[in-house]
Structure 1
Amino acid sequence: MDELIERARKALRSSYAPYSAYRVGAALRTADGTVFTGCNIENANYSNSVHAEELAISKAVEDGHREFESIAVTSSKRDGVTPCGMCRQTLTEFCDEELQIVCDEDDAVAAYTLGELLPNTISSENLED
């Protein structure tokens, strides 16, 4: 996971966060080991901002990937930031509850599964009923 955290840290350097100054980077590892990164991109209209995790997922999906193994998330504050609810829901579209989520906390990492962070999620199975 150290490599994935390092890739997320590198991605946050590209962040555009002039309003909050809260820079975020993410690194998403696909089932075949390919890594896609993303950073947050703010907009004066906050609802149009792009989250780092969303950008990494979008890049991976655009490249044809639909299966993911793990994601690492970091912030410029190294405060253990986890994916927000919207990003968790997007991850659920492609990942099962065992997806590993690693969050950067200073010199340590916290590890979760997607199921721990988003139990009883809305999924395609819910929509089929």
Structure 2
Amino acid sequence: MTLEKRDALIAAARDAARGAYAPYSNFHVGAALLLTDGSVVTGANVENASYGLSLCAETVAAAKVLSAARRSGLEAVAVVGGAPGAPGEGAAVTPCGRCRQVLNELAQLGGTDPVVWCEGAQGVLELRLSELLPHAFGPASLG
């Protein structure tokens, strides 16, 4: 993966964060998923007054992919979070546990282990999804 592709995906996540609905936490998160067919799907966090019903940016993006019946595989993920108007300027934000599981489902459908880039003031943290979610439970675990 080229540095230009990485930076473009991170920029897409940063742009997505601008669409976040986060009136309670005031913490905006954007995610961008690069599929193996070359397309990019973004999502932003969506909060709810009943906090447990809130949706993370990664889950929103994955739901957009899956609800469009796209199963081509997940190549890379970019996540950027922070204060409104300043995503990526604080500490790097990694996907939460729930999002790691949701991303794993999408990755396993395509047989991939996507790279995950998380931008923060100190630079870009780069990990594989399997590092964030070792010994993952997925579709193969049910059969």
Q: TM-score range by the shorter chain?
A: over 0.9
Q: What residue in structure 1 maps to residue 23 of structure 2?
A: 18
Partner residue in 1 for 2:94:
82
Q: Which runs of 5+ in 2 are unaligned?
A: 1-5
Tell whether the 8 Å contact from 2:62 to 2:106 is kept in structure 1 after alignment.
Answer: no
* Displaced runs of 4 or more, over 2 A: none
| Percent of paired sites with the same residue | 42
Q: Which digits, 9 at most, give the CA deviation of each residue in 1:52-110, with x for residues without a partner?
A: 00111111222232211101000025221111111110111121462110001126211
The TM-score with structure 2 as length reference comes to: 0.84
Instruction: Give the number of aligned pairs.
Output: 128
Residue in 1 that maps onto 2:107: 95
How much is the aligned-residue C-alpha RMSD, in angstroms?
1.3
Contact 2:47 2:53 in 1 (8 A): yes
> Is there any run of 5+ residues in structure 1 with no aligned partner, and where?
none
Say whether the 8 Å CA contact 1:30–1:65 is kept in structure 2.
no
TM-score (structure 1 length as normaliser): 0.93
Distance 1:99 1:121 in 2: 14
Q: Could you tell me how far apart the structure 1 residues matched to 2:64 and 2:139 are?
A: 22
